[in-house]
C-alpha cells in the first residue's frame, strides 16, 4: 500500500494540495499551542518568536468577528487586537515607522512655542487618539519629561485589551498624570476630565459660513493631539477629524503618522499640502497596498489624509517608505488650527497676518486692521499703488475665498520663507538639487564696497546663502533673498534655522566641516520647528549629505561638485595629490607660488585639459554654472585683446566666437588662478579655494559667517526678523516691491545670462530703477571687462563705476572668478510705470471677505 502512495499523489494534485495545507495548519497550530502555553505566565514579556507568531496569526489567519453586534467597531477592534495585545509593541517597532519622528517633531513645536511665549508652567494637555498600548507616550520621554512637561495626558482608545496593556505600562512607570480612556474618539471631550483648564471660546454667528466664523460655542484646550497609525483604522474618519478640530486649542499642534497611497495627480492644484517630495505612489503600489491592508481593515484611501489637510493648516509634512516589508508608503504630518492664531487677542487675526506678511514682502506700509481708517487708506494710496501685492497675498485671498487652509508657509513659526508654487516648471527644472553648496562672492570686498547699515533694504541673489548671512551681520532693516532654484533657498533656510536652534559646535560641524553624524536627530528635534515644510522635506530626504559615512559632506554636493570631483580625480591619477596638500599647508606666498608653478600648474593649466574638458559648454554649466551667454562675453573679450576689436559679443558672429572658445577659456583660467596664487595664501586667508581643494573649511580659514562671534550675533532672538526668502525671478520680486524702498541690489553675475542686445536686460534695469530710492546702488560682477549692458544702465538713470577690474595680473577679490565688478548708482528716477499686478484675484479682495 505504501508503494502506491506516490503514484496516487502524482495523479491527484488536489489531494496533494489538501494534505500539504492540512500539514501546515497542523504545524502552525502545534507551534502556537506550545508557545501560548509557555507564554501564559509571562504575557508582558513574550519571546520574539512567540510575538511574531501571535502577530502573524492575528493579522493573516484568525477570522475577524464582531460584525453585526451592538458595538461593531469596538468588537471588530477586539477581534483583531485581543490575541496580540501583549505582543503589540514587540511586533510593531519596525513595521510602524515614523512614530518617533512624529513625536520628536511635535515636541520641538511645543518647546519652540513655549520659548517664544515665555511659558514656563507645565499646564499642557496631550491627547493621544488611538494610543493603544501607550507606546507613544513612553517614547515621548526621549524628547521631553512627560510627567513634568504635561499637566495631563489622555490616551484614548476603543480597544479594552490594548487599554489594559497601557494601564499596566503607566502603573509600572508611575506616571500619575497619564489617564487611559477606553472610549470612542468622536465622543471624547476634555471638559469631562479637565473642569478647570479647558478654554471656552465664544463665536458670534455671521451670515457667511466659514471656518473663520464658526457658529455657536467651540471648546478647545489640547496643546497636542497625536494619532499614530490609528486614522487609517477608523471607519468614520470624517467625524473624528471634525471632533479633533474642536478639541485642539487655538495655538495647539496636531501630529499624525500613518500609512497612505496617493497619486501626484490628486495634488496638482493644491497649494496647502506642504510639499510633495516622495508623495506620489505608482499605480501598482496604490493597487497592491490598498488590497493588502484591506485584509486587516486598514483604509489607505487618499481621502483620509486629504480631509486632514483640508481641516487643519499644514505646518510640516513628509513622506517616506518602510522597506522592511516592501516599500510601504507612510507619512508624517504636523498641523495646527486652520484659522491662524496669535498669543494676543487682536480681532480678525487671519486678515492681520496676511496683511503684515504682504507689507514685509512688498516693502509697503503695514496697516493694522484696527487702525484701518479712511484717512490712513488715502495716505497709503498716495504713497503705494494699491495694485502692489505679493504672490503670497494673492494665494491667501484665493484660499480664504474658497474656505481652504492657507498655504503652509503662513503657518511657519518664523515667516522667513515666502509662499511659492513648487509645481511650476520653472522650479521643478532643478529636480530637487541645488547648484552651489557655497557662494563664489568675496564677502570682505562686499562689505568694503557696500558699507551696509541699519537703514538699508537689500535685495540679493541667494546662491548658497553665505553672502546673505554676511549681509545680515551688518543688521540691515530688511534682506530680500531671491533665487529661482527652491533648493538654494532650502540651504539658506537650513543655515538660518541652525543659527537659531544650534550651539556653535554643531553649527561648525554642519557648515565648517560639512558633516554631522547626528544631523537627522538634530533636524527632527531642534531644526524642524524653524523650517518651512518644503525645506524640512528636502533635508529629511537628504540627511545622507551630512550623516552618511560614505558621503564626502556638504561641499561635494550640488552641481558644483563636478568641478571639485574632477580636481580630486586629477590629483589622484596624475600624481599631485600630495602637492595639493602641501599647497594648502604652505605658510608663505613664496612657498605656495613654488608648489603651484612647479608641481600643479603644468597639469591643471594644460591646454589639452582646457580644450577637451573645461571649455566644453556642458562642463562649464554643470560644474561652474557658466551659461552660454556668459561664455560668449569672455570669448568676445579674448578676440578684442588679440585684435583690438569691439569687446561686445554683438559685433562678432557665432562662428567667430566659437572658433576662439578653447583659447578664450584657457586664457580666462590663467587670469583667474595665477593672480590668486600670487596674492592670497590659500590655507590661511582664502576659504573659497580651500573648500574646493579639501572639501571643508578649517578653523583658521573660513567665511565670516562661520566665526564664533558671527554665530553669537546671528543666534540672538530676532536676528533674522528682517529676512524674506523669495523663490522667484528677480524681475517678479522687484516688480512687487514698493517704489523707492530698496537701497541696495546685489545681482552677482546674473545679467551676464541675458541674450546680448535683447530688451530683457533693459526691462530688469528699469524695474530696479523704480524699486531703488534715489542714490540706491546696484552691485554686479561680470565675466566681461566692460559688459554690453552697462551702457543700458546709463540710459536708464544710473551712473556706472567699475570698482574692480582684472587686468595686468591683478585680483579683484580673493575669488577672482570675474573680470570686473561694478557699482551702478541711481541718479535719476524714471517716469511712473503703469502697474501690471492686480490686487484682485478672481474679483475678490481680502478686504471684502467676511473675517
Q: CATH number for the domain including 499?
A: 3.40.50.150
Residue 212 has pLDDT above 50, yes or no: no
| Residue 310 vs residue 810, higher pLDDT | 310
Position 682 pLDDT exceeds 90: yes
Q: What is the rounded distance in angstroms from the CA atom of residue 581 to the CA atom of residue 566?
A: 16
- Residues 610-637 have a mean pLDDT of 68
Report pLDDT for 773.
96
Residues 690 and 717 in one domain: no
Residue 558 has pLDDT above 50, yes or no: yes
Residues 6+ apart with CB under 8 A from 55: 84, 87, 91
Question: What pLDDT does residue 371 have?
Answer: 39
Give the residue-averaged pLDDT of 11-25: 54
Res 845: pLDDT: 41
Q: Pick the range with the lowest mean pLDDT from 182-186, 557-561, 763-767.
A: 557-561
Over residues 323-363, the pLDDT tens digits come to 877 789 999 999 999 876 544 433 345 566 677 777 777 87
Are both 605 and 671 inside the same structural domain?
yes
Q: Is residue 835 part of a domain?
A: no
More confident residue, 825 or 570: 825
In a domain, 185, yes or no: yes
Q: Which of the listed ranges 71-80, 543-552, 657-666 does the model predict with the highest average pLDDT? A: 543-552
User: pLDDT (tens digit, 9 = 90+) per residue, 81-103?
Assistant: 444 444 445 445 667 889 999 99
323, 451: one domain: no
Tell me, what's the pLDDT at 765?
96
Domain-terminating residue out of 670, 694, 718: 694
CA quadruple 356, 362, 367, 369: dihedral sign: negative
Q: Is the pLDDT of residue 377 over 70?
A: no
Together in a domain, 318 and 185: yes
Q: Check pLDDT > 70 for residue 46.
A: no
Least confident residue range of 187-191, 212-216, 437-441:
212-216
In this predicted structure, what is the pLDDT of residue 72? 54
Same domain, 120 and 222: yes
User: Which SS3 state, helix, strand or coil, does residue 180 take?
Assistant: strand
Residue 652 pLDDT > 50, yes or no? yes
Claim to verify: residue 188 and residue 308 sit in the same structural domain: yes
Supply the pLDDT for residue 657: 64
Of the chain, the percentage scoring pLDDT greater than 90 comes to: 52
Flag the least confident range among 179-183, 253-257, 290-294, 674-678: 290-294
User: Within a domain: residue 419?
Assistant: no
Q: Is residue 426 part of a domain?
A: no
List Cβ neighbours of 172 (8 Å cut-off, separation of 6 or more).
none
Residue 217 confidence (pLDDT) above 50: no
According to DSSP, residue 612 is labeled I
pLDDT confidence of residue 159: 86
- Structurally, the chain folds into a number of domains equal to 5
The answer on 103 and 30 residing in a single domain is no
pLDDT at 559: 78
Task: Identify whether residues 655 and 721 lie together within a single domain.
Answer: no
pLDDT of 808 over the 80 cut: no
Average pLDDT value for residue range 521-549: 96
pLDDT at 351: 62
Mean pLDDT of the chain: 81
User: What would the mean pLDDT of 557-581 be, rounded to a whole number?
Assistant: 80
Kindly report the pTM of this predicted structure: 0.83
What pairs with residue 400 in β-bridges? none
Q: Tell the burial category of 133 from Cβ atoms under 10 Å away from its Cβ (0-12, 13-18, 19+).
A: buried
Instruction: Please give the residue that has the higher pLDDT: either 565 or 7.
Output: 565
Mean pLDDT confidence for 809-828: 93
Answer yes or no: do 297 and 386 share one domain. no
Asked if residue 630 belongs to a domain, the reply is yes
Selected residue with higher pLDDT from 372 and 478: 478
Inside any domain, residue 588: yes
pLDDT bin (cut points 50, 70, 90) of residue 757 is confident
Tell me the three state secondary structure of residue 458: strand
**Which residue range forms the structural domain that includes residue 652?**
561-694
What does the pLDDT read at residue 454?
Answer: 96
662 pLDDT exceeds 80?
Answer: no
Does residue 634 belong to any structural domain of this protein? Answer: yes
Decide which of 210 and 315 is more confident.
Answer: 315
Lowest mean pLDDT among 397-411, 497-511, 771-785: 397-411
Residue 39: phi and psi, rounded to 5, are -85, 0
Q: What percent of the chain has pLDDT over 70?
A: 74
142 phi and psi angles, rounded to 5 deg: -70, -20
User: Does the pLDDT of residue 521 top 50, yes or no?
Assistant: yes
Query: What integer is the mean pLDDT of 781-804?
Result: 94
Give me the helices (H) in 589-660, please: 589-595, 601-604, 607-609, 617-624, 628-643, 654-659
H helices within 223-275, ranges in order? 237-247
Give the lowest-confidence range in 169-178, 216-225, 242-251: 216-225
Q: How confident is the model at residue 632 (pLDDT cuts 50, 70, 90)?
A: confident
Evaluate if residue 381 carries a pLDDT over 80.
no
Question: Dihedral sign, CA of 653, 659, 665, 666?
Answer: negative
Lowest-pLDDT choice from 114-118, 270-274, 366-370, 841-845: 841-845
Residue 94 has a pLDDT of: 61
The reply to whether 12 falls in a domain is no
Domain's final residue, options 62, 91, 120: 91
Residue 25 scores a pLDDT above 60: no
Question: How many CB atoms within 10 Å of residue 333?
Answer: 28
**In terms of Cα–Cα distance, which of 444, 438, 525, 455 is closest to 140?**
525
For the cut 60, the answer to whether the pLDDT of residue 431 exceeds it is yes
Q: Which residues contact 811 (CB under 8 A, 6 or more apart)?
A: 675, 676, 678, 679, 680
Q: Which pLDDT score, from 0 to 100, does residue 720 have?
A: 95
What is residue 658's predicted lDDT score, i.e. its pLDDT? Answer: 66
pLDDT at 752 over 60: yes
Instruction: Note the pLDDT of residue 561.
Output: 79
Task: Identify the pLDDT of residue 636.
Answer: 78
Q: What is the pLDDT of residue 8?
A: 37
Same domain, 659 and 769: no
Cα-atom radius of gyration of the chain, to the nearest Å?
32
Distance CA 65, CA 78 (A): 9
pLDDT level of residue 125 (50, 70, 90 thresholds): very high
101 and 86, same structural domain? no
Closest by CA position to 498, among listed 468, 528, 460: 528
Taking residue 670's Cβ as centre, other Cβ atoms within 10 Å add up to 14
Phi–psi pair at 125, nearest 5 degrees? -115, 130
> What pLDDT, in 10s, does the model give residues 444-463?
999 999 999 999 999 999 99
> Which tops the pLDDT comparison, 269 or 554?
554
Q: Could you tell me which residue, 584 or 324, shows the higher pLDDT?
A: 584
Q: Is the dihedral of CA 841, 773, 790, 486 positive or negative?
A: negative
**Beta-carbon-side half-sphere exposure of residue 682 (alpha carbons within 13 Å):** 26
Boundary-marking domain end, from 39, 70, 91: 91
**Structure confidence at residue 237 (pLDDT):** 93
- Of 507, 511, 581, give the one whose Cα is nearest residue 553: 511
Q: Are residues 627 and 661 in the same domain?
A: yes
Amino acid at each position: 500500500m505504501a508503494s502506491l502512495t506516490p503514484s496516487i499523489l502524482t495523479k491527484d494534485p488536489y489531494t496533494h494540495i489538501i494534505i500539504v495545507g492540512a500539514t501546515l495548519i497542523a504545524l502552525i497550530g502545534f507551534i502556537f499551542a506550545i508557545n501560548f502555553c509557555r507564554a501564559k505566565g509571562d504575557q508582558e514579556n513574550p519571546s520574539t518568536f512567540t510575538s511574531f507568531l501571535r502577530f502573524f496569526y492575528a493579522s493573516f489567519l484568525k477570522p475577524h468577528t464582531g460584525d453585526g453586534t451592538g458595538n461593531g467597531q469596538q468588537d471588530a477592534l477586539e477581534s483583531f487586537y485581543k490575541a496580540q495585545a501583549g505582543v503589540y509593541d514587540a511586533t510593531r517597532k519596525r513595521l510602524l515607522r515614523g512614530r518617533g519622528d512624529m513625536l520628536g517633531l511635535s515636541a520641538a513645536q511645543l518647546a519652540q512655542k513655549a520659548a517664544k511665549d515665555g511659558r514656563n508652567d507645565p499646564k499642557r494637555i496631550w491627547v493621544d487618539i488611538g494610543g493603544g498600548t501607550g507606546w507613544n507616550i513612553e517614547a515621548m520621554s526621549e524628547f521631553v519629561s512627560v510627567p513634568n512637561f504635561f499637566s495631563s495626558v489622555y490616551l484614548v482608545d476603543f480597544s479594552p485589551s490594548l487599554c489594559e496593556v497601557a494601564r499596566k505600562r503607566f502603573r509600572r512607570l508611575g506616571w500619575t498624570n497619564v489617564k487611559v480612556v477606553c472610549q470612542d474618539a468622536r465622543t471624547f471631550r476634555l471638559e469631562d476630565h479637565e473642569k478647570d483648564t479647558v478654554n471656552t471660546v465664544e463665536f458670534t454667528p455671521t451670515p457667511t459660513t466659514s471656518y473663520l466664523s464658526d457658529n455657536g460655542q467651540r471648546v478647545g484646550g489640547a496643546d497636542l493631539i497625536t494619532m499614530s497609525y490609528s486614522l487609517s483604522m477608523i471607519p468614520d474618519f470624517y467625524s473624528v477629524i471634525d471632533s479633533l478640530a474642536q478639541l485642539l486649542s487655538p495655538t495647539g499642534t496636531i501630529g499624525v503618522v500613518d500609512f497612505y497611497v496617493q497619486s501626484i495627480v490628486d495634488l496638482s492644484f493644491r497649494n496647502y499640502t506642504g510639499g510633495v517630495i516622495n508623495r506620489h505612489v505608482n499605480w501598482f503600489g496604490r493597487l497592491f497596498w490598498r488590497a493588502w491592508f484591506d485584509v486587516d481593515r486598514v483604509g489607505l484611501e487618499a481621502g483620509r489624509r486629504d480631509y486632514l489637510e483640508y481641516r487643519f493648516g499644514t505646518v510640516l509634512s513628509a513622506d517616506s517608505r518602510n522597506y522592511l516589508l516592501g516599500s510601504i508608503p507612510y507619512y508624517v504630518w504636523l498641523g495646527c488650527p486652520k484659522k491662524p492664531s496669535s498669543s494676543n487677542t487682536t480681532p480678525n487675526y487671519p486678515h492681520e497676518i496676511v496683511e503684515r506678511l504682504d507689507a514685509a514682502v512688498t516693502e509697503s506700509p503695514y496697516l493694522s486692521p484696527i487702525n484701518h481708517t479712511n484717512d490712513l487708506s488715502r495716505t497709503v494710496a498716495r504713497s503705494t499703488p494699491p495694485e502692489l501685492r505679493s504672490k503670497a497675498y494673492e494665494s491667501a485671498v484665493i484660499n480664504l475665498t474658497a474656505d481652504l487652509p492657507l498655504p503652509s508657509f503662513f503657518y511657519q513659526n518664523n515667516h522667513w520663507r515666502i509662499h511659492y508654487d513648487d509645481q511650476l516648471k520653472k522650479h521643478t527644472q532643478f529636480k530637487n538639487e541645488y547648484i552651489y553648496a557655497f557662494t563664489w562672492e568675496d564677502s570682505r570686498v562686499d562689505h568694503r564696497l557696500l558699507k551696509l547699515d541699519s537703514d538699508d533694504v537689500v535685495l540679493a541673489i541667494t546662491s548658497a546663502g553665505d553672502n546673505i548671512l554676511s549681509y545680515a551681520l551688518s543688521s540691515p532693516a530688511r534682506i530680500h533673498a531671491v533665487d529661482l532654484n527652491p533648493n538654494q533657498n532650502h540651504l539658506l533656510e537650513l543655515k538660518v534655522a541652525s543659527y537659531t536652534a544650534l550651539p556653535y559646535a554643531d553649527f561648525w560641524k554642519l557648515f565648517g566641516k560639512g558633516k554631522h553624524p547626528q544631523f537627522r536627530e538634530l533636524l527632527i528635534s531642534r531644526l524642524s520647528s524653524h523650517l518651512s515644510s518644503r525645506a524640512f522635506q528636502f533635508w529629511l530626504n537628504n540627511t545622507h549629505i551630512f550623516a552618511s559615512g560614505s558621503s564626502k559632506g556638504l561641499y561635494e554636493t550640488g552641481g558644483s561638485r563636478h568641478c571639485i570631483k574632477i580636481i580630486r580625480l586629477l590629483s589622484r591619477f596624475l600624481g599631485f595629490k600630495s602637492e595639493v596638500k602641501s599647497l594648502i599647508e604652505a605658510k608663505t606666498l613664496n612657498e605656495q607660488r613654488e608648489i603651484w608653478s612647479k608641481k600643479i600648474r603644468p597639469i591643471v593649466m594644460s591646454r589639452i585639459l582646457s580644450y577637451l574638458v573645461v571649455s566644453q559648454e556642458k562642463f562649464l554649466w554643470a560644474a561652474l554654472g557658466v551659461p552660454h551667454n556668459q561664455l560668449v562675453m569672455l570669448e568676445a573679450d579674448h578676440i578684442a585683446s588679440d585684435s583690438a576689436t569691439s569687446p561686445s559679443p554683438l559685433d562678432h558672429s557665432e562662428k567667430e566666437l566659437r572658433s576662439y572658445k578653447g583659447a578664450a577659456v584657457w586664457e580666462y583660467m590663467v587670469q583667474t588662478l595665477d593672480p590668486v596664487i600670487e596674492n592670497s595664501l590659500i590655507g590661511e586667508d582664502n576659504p573659497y579655494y580651500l573648500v574646493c581643494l579639501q572639501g571643508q573649511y578649517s578653523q583658521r580659514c573660513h567665511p565670516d559667517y562661520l566665526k564664533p562671534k558671527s554665530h553669537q550675533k546671528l543666534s540672538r532672538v530676532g536676528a533674522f526678523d528682517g529676512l524674506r526668502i523669495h523663490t522667484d525671478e528677480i524681475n517678479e520680486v522687484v516688480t512687487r516691491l514698493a517704489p523707492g524702498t530698496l537701497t541696495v541690489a546685489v545681482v552677482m553675475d546674473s545679467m551676464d545670462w541675458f541674450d546680448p542686445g535683447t530688451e530683457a536686460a533693459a526691462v530688469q534695469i528699469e524695474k530696479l530703477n523704480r524699486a531703488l530710492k534715489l542714490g540706491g546702488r546696484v552691485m554686479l560682477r561680470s565675466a566681461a571687462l566692460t559688459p554690453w549692458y552697462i551702457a543700458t544702465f546709463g540710459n536708464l538713470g544710473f551712473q556706472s563705476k567699475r570698482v574692480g577690474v582684472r587686468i595686468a595680473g591683478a585680483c579683484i577679490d580673493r575669488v577672482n572668478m570675474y573680470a570686473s565688478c561694478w557699482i551702478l548708482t541711481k541718479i535719476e528716477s524714471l517716469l511712473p510705470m503703469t502697474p501690471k499686478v492686480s490686487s484682485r484675484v478672481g474679483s475678490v479682495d481680502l478686504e471684502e471677505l467676511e473675517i
